[in-house]
Copies of this chain bind each other. A is one copy, B any other.
Amino acid sequence: MSSAPHSAVVTLTGHLMDTGILARVLDDVLEYGGDYRIDSLELGRQHGDESRALVEVSAGDTELLDRILMRVQVHGANAVDPGTATTRPAPADGVFPEDFYSTTNLETLVRLDRDWLRVEHPEMDCGLVVSDGSVVRTVPVSDVRAGDAVVCGAHGVRVELPPQAPRGEEDDFGFMSSTVSSEKPQALLVRQIAERMREVKAAGRRVLWVGGPAVVHTGAAPAMVRLVEAGYVDVLFAGNALATHDIESALFGTSLGVDLAKGSGVPHGHEHHIRAINTVRAAGSIAAAVDSGVLTGGVMHALVRAGKPFVLVGSVRDDGPLPDVITDVIDGQRAMRAELHDVGFAIMVATMLHSIATGNLLPASIPLVCVDINPATVTKLADRGSAQAMGIVTDIGLFLEQLARELAP
């Protein structure tokens, strides 16, 4: 086997044939302008067996080759001869060296010298910073400091795919990953999600919720409150809107034009929400409004009572906002990262903005369900790299009602 000057051999292990993952790696090589030769393919002959492929990747120059090698790591393909990592100092605060290694959301290991060091908290589109020669951290570009030792190029970095069952032997939950669809047996999906949440809680891990204001508009807030009270909401990520409409509903009985008790509409009753915000601003915080007896119901009230944290991050369309809202979005991301510890399951309901934001921060190892009546939300999440996202296109109101029936009857 003779190699072109700019080439490297990568290895792929797993259920390569029936998951289509080999096809995707080869695809990416070509798309980036490289070429490939399959050096060997040890077949898992039966579908329960794993396969192992060696693929020689070549490119016109080393810079492109490096970019391709980083790229195919997204699919779990590692160099056979990974070498050791090179680091270079960050040239300024908030700036990586030009050829920095751009991370995936997979389990990542770095070899500086001889040993492979495990990187804490994998997160995509970040850099890797080495401290004390033995600790490697994932650092977003906004947080790198001038002089930090940043891993550069593709050498000395290895990724690990989450363990995967072969097709047809997934646990019950597995099938949902197949495709986004509104044409699936929805009641069955609800039961499976409930089951998964019970398992996660039983294992001592946390359930992360990400929600949009439709939780309130669809009348699902009481169901959500029951889920909080039953212990199935360990932390909530949301924006100003969910909290505002929830509180507006508790204070005035309305939410963006829907009188939830009577079912009769109050179209465009916008001024209620700005009054609700002002009331909480006067109290100082949502918790203070609960403590002082101003706020006596709704999802946010339930979270405060249950002592469960929430992270509200602002957006440019916000009114107010509520005093708890983090108005700096990069600070908001930091606050979200600080609440990812021990999360074993993430569920995103009715919000594209915060779902994608959370998907950006989550490691691939955390199962993630995205529920929305709009198929585009789920599709966008998966397109941006959250491959573990499982999409359910359904009605939030009925979905949460049925989930609460399962978990908090």
Interface positions of A (Cβ within 8 A of B)? 17-20, 22-24, 26-28, 30-32, 35-39, 41, 43-47, 67, 70-71, 74, 91-92, 94-96, 98, 100, 102, 124-125, 140-142, 167-168, 172, 175, 178-179, 182-190, 192, 214, 217-220, 239, 256, 258, 260, 262-271, 273-275, 277-279, 281-282, 313-321, 323, 327-333, 336, 353-354, 356-357, 360, 373-374, 376, 383-385, 393-395, 397-399, 401-402
A316 and B401 contacting across the interface, CB-CB below 8 Å: no
B32 and A266 contacting across the interface, CB-CB below 8 Å: yes
For A140, the chain B residues whose CB sits under 8 A away are: 319
Closest B residue to A382 using CB positions: B268
Partner of A329, one of B46, B168, B316, B374: B316
Partner of A385, one of B46, B124, B270, B360: B270
For A258, the chain B residues whose CB sits under 8 A away are: 183-185
Partner of A219, one of B17, B38, B67, B187: B187
What are 18 A-to-B residue pairs whose CB atoms are below 8 Å?
A17-B26, A18-B26, A31-B267, A37-B45, A94-B281, A98-B279, A102-B275, A142-B320, A178-B267, A182-B395, A186-B220, A315-B357, A316-B329, A316-B357, A373-B373, A373-B394, A398-B399, A398-B402
Partner of A38, one of B45, B183, B187, B402: B45
B401 and A402 contacting across the interface, CB-CB below 8 Å: yes
Given contacts A38-B43, A41-B41, A278-B96, is CB(A314)–CB(B330) below 8 Å?
yes
B316 and A332 contacting across the interface, CB-CB below 8 Å: yes
Given contacts A32-B266, A186-B218, is CB(A360)–CB(B20) below 8 Å?
no
A315 and B274 contacting across the interface, CB-CB below 8 Å: no
Shortest CB-to-CB span from A361 to chain B, Å, is 10
B71 and A271 contacting across the interface, CB-CB below 8 Å: yes
B271 and A125 contacting across the interface, CB-CB below 8 Å: yes
A265 and B178 contacting across the interface, CB-CB below 8 Å: yes
Shortest CB-to-CB span from A215 to chain B, Å, is 10
B401 and A141 contacting across the interface, CB-CB below 8 Å: no
B395 and A186 contacting across the interface, CB-CB below 8 Å: yes
B17 and A23 contacting across the interface, CB-CB below 8 Å: yes
Given contacts A141-B281, A182-B373, is CB(A175)–CB(B319) below 8 Å?
no
For A266, the chain B residues whose CB sits under 8 A away are: 31-32
